[in-house]
Amino acid sequence: MRSFARSFAGAYLCLLTGVHNGVRACFLACIIWSQLLASVKFFEGSKVEILFFVVVAGLAFANGANDNFKGVATLWGGGDLTYRQAWFVANGASFLGAILAVFLGAAVAKTFGGKGVVSDEILGSYRFAMAFAAGAALTVLLATVLRYPISTTHAILGSLAGAGVALAMGDVNLQPLVKKGALPLLFSPLLAASATFVLWKLRERFFKPVFTSKPAAKISKPMHILSGSAVCFSRAVNDTPKIASIALLGGAAGMSHMTVYAAIGVVMTIGGMLFVKQIAKVMCEEITDMNAAEGLTGNLVTAFLVIIASKFGLAVSTTHVSVGALFGIGVENGTARKKKILQILLSWVLTLPTSFILAFAIARFIPISG
């Protein structure tokens, strides 16, 4: 463990030298995680299990930091809630969704359990489970400190494929991932942007007097809060089973499914409570301007698409759907920041290959027994 201590000290000195915050944080995270994984060769039995669950917890934490606020971005951006109020709504609804995901997200869990992608022998190895979890966790952590709202779903898919290819020597069936994962991920942002644009135009052309009436004005804000809560809730219902399926690959130390889901929900909420503000600023201030009515329209589209996806086990990313809805708002009102949108789109393109490469490298080169 001396090499780990030296690396940690070096990374800490880097934090004191004035390097850019995002780069420093990424460097620190990568150094510590790589040294922890490299030190696995000194561990046996339960210690390997403990390290595995630390890695899974890192994925849950990064997911909360990157994703929890996305459902309420329009509430803060549209002016219906303050940041602190939106923060409470986001984390409360996300935690509730994570707990209830054990009942509502079974179909999603099956898609991400790896069954049918690699052989049962590889699926039951700690090397596969560790590489699977660590590749996704590192990718989402990297995106979070660099302030890019990416898809945890996409990172998990890439990591699953990378770990599988590394250990199965090409004997990998990627068809289930493409059918239920890659295709929905590809089309969901386009669908969300189009639906938001069309729905707003229909509202303005045919129903504007209804929505601008006094009775409608009274219920607009409660509906917006309810829709934001629904997005956060459905996002947690959709994402928690994906992380739980990875945890259960490692046996979950004999814990019940409810305990695993609850533990993930707690860690995810902590990540959202502590480190969500930078992603929140990107979502609310740097993509487009919006008013409360536009935000409500985008949230209704996002909630509908994510809930339907969870019902049918489709690996739709709440990030792609919610940010796609913001793209639609920006196109509709003419305030879309094209440079930022292109940067986000590039981060989405890079998510899958980044997690694939990280998981592949960990599976092939880090000495993990079992």
Instruction: Give me the DSSP letters along 156-212.
Output: HHHHHHHHHHHHHTT----HHHIIIIIHHHHHHHHHHHHHHHHHHHHHHHHSHHHHT
Within-domain flag for 146 = yes
Cα(268)–Cα(318) distance, rounded to whole angstroms? 15
Within-domain flag for 156 = yes
Q: Residue 118 carries which DSSP code?
A: B
And the tokens for 156?
Answer: 């998990």
Asked if 278 and 219 sit in the same domain, the reply is yes
Asked if 20 and 57 sit in the same domain, the reply is no
Asked if 31 and 73 sit in the same domain, the reply is no
Within-domain flag for 122 = yes
Asked if 184 and 144 sit in the same domain, the reply is yes
> In this structure, what are the phi and psi dihedrals at residue 148, rounded to the nearest 5 degrees?
-115, 125
Within-domain flag for 370 = no
Asked if 185 and 294 sit in the same domain, the reply is yes
Chain-centre distance for alpha carbon 341: 18
Asked if 36 and 58 sit in the same domain, the reply is no
For residue 115, list its beta bridge partners: 118
Asked if 295 and 189 sit in the same domain, the reply is yes
Asked if 32 and 79 sit in the same domain, the reply is no
How many domains does the structure of the chain reveal? 2
Q: Which residue has the tokens 């052309």?
A: 205
Q: Which domain holds residue 4?
A: 1-42
pLDDT by residue, tens only, the chain of 370 residues = 444 444 434 443 343 333 344 444 444 445 444 444 444 444 444 566 777 878 888 999 999 999 999 888 888 988 889 999 999 999 999 999 998 888 876 666 666 665 656 666 666 677 888 888 899 999 999 999 999 999 888 898 888 888 888 887 666 666 666 665 566 667 778 888 888 888 888 877 776 776 667 776 677 888 889 888 988 988 888 888 888 888 877 655 566 778 888 889 999 999 999 888 889 999 888 888 888 888 888 888 887 887 777 666 666 677 888 888 888 888 888 888 888 989 998 998 899 889 999 999 998 887 665 5
Asked if 146 and 188 sit in the same domain, the reply is yes
> Contact 128/324 with Cβ under 8 angstroms?
no
DSSP letters along 22-51, please?
HHHHHHHHHHHHHHHHHGGGG--THHHHHH
Cα(331)–Cα(334) distance, rounded to whole angstroms? 5
> Contact 323/287 with Cβ under 8 angstroms?
yes
